[in-house]
A and B are shown apart, each in its own frame.
Chain A
């Protein structure tokens, strides 16, 4: 039987309303309040072994302390899943559910699930970080929310494949999952266009996300003194692709030493990238990773130095999240190595 730990606020914990919102986190054995409905829905598959109750104001005003206290409790119980809420449209409760779920997931690697109304500020803040089941705006929606949350909770606890948001009832924005529609895409496009032209409601299949844009840093003060590194998403690797970087959807990046290398030749380097015709990059990889030109500039004193390592991956079909994770890792190495500026080349 799966072990579930349930988080609720002071109101659903039966302690009291606003006057008790400062209630410190406490843990009880078994299910409390809405937990009993979940117990019924789980049947023999799972049990709520413990319930954590915390005041919404306490959590909001002492977030770090509350988080630490609750994480300790979760560590002690080691549940198969951490369930929070549902918070409906209660803003502080939604914030608490989102925050604590995020912490449990990130720090303890335990699957989490919460539920709230789509306009709850907690939903906006955490919708891209976890599964949040969409509920009605008040506790009237409990009867509706519990079976949906219970079903998804069991799947998450068992590590089963999670279906698309539209199938499972969680809010879109966290995880994109494929499924088969009734109609083919072109017909759906025609239907959507007809609705849009008439001003009738329609549902986009992919809501536009906030796009991650990066502000440029101030320019390098004296380029003739700067140590420059080369980084590429064009897939340039030593001949033979020793680390087997994928042609598309890269799961890794490479770090290669170019001490003493003045020119990338057909015999020594190639590209692993599958998104463009590799012919010209394979003949002369300097076309993508300009080591030759930078060596000349280094010799002529136009730049301070070329860093002796380059970092490379294939940008083709690679998830932005993976690219960001690679960059965080090697940017730290670049900083550590005293690199002043980086030339990023793409294809």
Chain B
């Protein structure tokens, strides 16, 4: 499967009369976009705002972050597919042909809290160093749900609204010439094995959050907790095949943006054909029942064995309960004699001296960490709040009286979106 990613650089977002992309600026007719989003009767209103890097702006509570993309296949891949297939585009295999990306910006959804696990994005100050979304120009959608809307329906409406908005914006770039093009080619097993016979066959096992009840991930619209461990072409994730529907702590939830820009996938592609042969991407779940954990990790190991892989990177999502899935996957794959590297994060307590993971095993001897999520920082007062600061004491990572008299807030970094990402999106680590 061959996919060409055409990046269109966005350096400014202007709320204006007509929606269009022109000279690296995204113009958004907010009335038109609002009308589209209000088609969902669960949403009463939506406010649009733009947050730029370096501004004294805080966005909270953040639900999801999404990168606008669009398919521009022009018949060359015979597909009739769209971004986020099976969710807001019809079902159809993506990961082929051509995709245009609005690079340097993101759609961020916010609104009244759903659970406790929606986080903070600071556009400047120390908090900005912990989230990648302080570096993107963010079009923020602040939603008001109708009264009495149940939490699950609210979450679903917000999730879909963010995706719809992203596709609306992405489609504006169908006829824009990209600033750069990157080609990703993922060969069939047979071709791949023949092409690089002397390179180690490497696979990527991506664990997807599926604890259920606001902790879900969807693949082509399928709730991942109802799926057996399966395979996907890594090019498909660039087209939104995997989306976030979860409220795991802000720091280590994979937003839809993370999935669209999966760093393990891109870094394996970067070394593909040089140091390694990127042969397979396996996606598995993180269900709560022991039998599910055993079954899914059995299947993960079994697929690694059937594919004849020489080495595997395993990435996690969330913490605590999923630590057991991570260790099961690692143990069972290592037991086959296949080396693994796991990517996780830590909950070592505020002083860093507590046990970091809920489960460990000696076979997990190669670990990359996204850092200690319990570390405490003070986020300075921001001049502008998009959303509301009303929940910063109750979100995961907040605590009683954490808003200081000077307007600064003290939180564990787990409250910051993407701070300890377990796909290795960031440079932060711990020792």
Contacts and interface: CB of A to CB of B under 8 A. Distances in A.
Are chains A and B native binding partners rather than an unrelated pairing?
yes
Interface of A: 128, 164-167, 172, 174-190, 192-194, 196-197, 202, 204-206, 208-209, 211-212, 244, 246-249, 251, 273-280, 315-322
Interface in B51-80: none
19 contacts: A164-B429, A165-B431, A177-B375, A178-B413, A179-B431, A186-B266, A186-B424, A202-B366, A205-B429, A206-B357, A208-B361, A248-B117, A248-B412, A249-B414, A274-B249, A277-B214, A318-B347, A320-B354, A322-B349
Nearest to B423: A186
A164 B315 CA distance: 23
Interface of B: 115-117, 129, 150-152, 200, 202, 211-215, 247, 249, 263-264, 266-268, 270-271, 275-276, 310-313, 315, 319-321, 339-341, 343-344, 346-357, 359-362, 364-375, 394-400, 412-414, 421-431
Centre residue among B349, B422, B423 by max chain A CB count within 10 A: B349
B367 A205 contact: yes
A177 B213 contact: no
Given A212-B355, A276-B211, A179 B430 contact: yes
Nearest to A324: B354
A319 B249 contact: no
A181 B429 CA distance: 6
Contacts of B427: 180-185
A274 B250 CA distance: 11
Contacts of B399: 244, 246, 249, 251
Q: Is the interface of A mostly helix, strand, loop or mixed?
A: loop
Q: Closest 6 interchain pairs by CB?
A: A185-B424, A274-B116, A319-B349, A277-B213, A186-B424, A248-B396
A106 to B, nearest CB: 13
A205 B346 CA distance: 11
B429 A189 contact: no
Given A186-B263, A186-B264, A248-B414, A196 B368 contact: no
B320 A193 contact: no
Given A188-B368, A194-B275, A208-B364, A166 B431 contact: yes
Given A193-B339, A249-B396, 8 more contacts: A167-B431, A177-B431, A181-B429, A184-B267, A185-B343, A186-B267, A189-B267, A189-B343
Given A196-B341, A319-B354, A184 B431 contact: no
A196 B367 CA distance: 11
- Most A CB contacts (10 A, CB to CB) among B264, B276, B339, B414 go to B339
Nearest to B342: A189
A68 to B, nearest CB: 26
Contacts of A280: 213
A46 B425 CA distance: 42
A164 B430 contact: yes
Interface of B is mostly: loop
B366 A275 contact: no
Contacts of B267: 184, 186-187, 189-190
Contact of A189 (B355, B368, B375, B397): B368
B355 A278 contact: no
Given A208-B360, A249-B350, A277-B213, A197 B355 contact: no
Nearest to A202: B366
Given A206-B356, A208-B365, A164 B431 contact: yes
Contact of A185 (B310, B373, B396, B429): B429
A21 B420 CA distance: 50
A175 B366 contact: no
B412 A249 contact: yes
A212 B355 CA distance: 9
A279 B116 contact: no
A242 to B, nearest CB: 11
Contacts of A248: 116-117, 249, 396-397, 412, 414
Contact of A174 (B116, B341, B353): B353
B361 A246 contact: no
A322 B412 CA distance: 15
B329 to A, nearest CB: 14
A95 B357 CA distance: 29
A316 B366 contact: no
Contact of B431 (A172, A197, A202, A244): A172
A322 B350 CA distance: 10
A192 B364 contact: no
A177 B430 contact: yes
A209 B323 CA distance: 14
B257 to A, nearest CB: 15
B431 A249 contact: no
A176 B200 CA distance: 33
A105 to B, nearest CB: 12
Nearest to A167: B431
Contact of B428 (A181, A193, A196): A181
A321 B213 contact: no
Contacts of B355: 209, 211-212, 319-321
Contact of A247 (B367, B371, B396): B396
Given A206-B344, A274-B116, A317-B319, A247 B375 contact: no
A246 B376 CA distance: 14
Contacts of A277: 115, 151-152, 212-215, 247
A318 B414 CA distance: 12
Contacts of A276: 211, 213-215
B368 A185 contact: yes
Nearest to A166: B431
Contacts of B414: 248-249, 317
A197 B311 contact: yes
Contacts of B270: 190
Given A202-B366, A275-B320, A319-B348, A178 B313 contact: no
A204 B356 CA distance: 14
Looking at B247, B267, B373, B375, the one whose CB has the most chain A CB atoms below 10 A away is B267
Contact of B373 (A189, A278, A315, A317): A317
Given A194-B276, A246-B399, A179 B429 contact: yes
A276 B192 CA distance: 42
A321 B320 CA distance: 14
A175 B264 CA distance: 28
B360 A209 contact: yes
A135 to B, nearest CB: 18
A345 B389 CA distance: 33
A184 B424 contact: yes
Given A183-B427, A205-B429, A274-B395, A321 B349 contact: yes
B320 A316 contact: yes
B153 to A, nearest CB: 11
Contacts of B313: 186, 189-190, 193
B158 to A, nearest CB: 15
Contacts of A183: 427
A313 to B, nearest CB: 13
A185 B421 contact: yes
B342 to A, nearest CB: 8
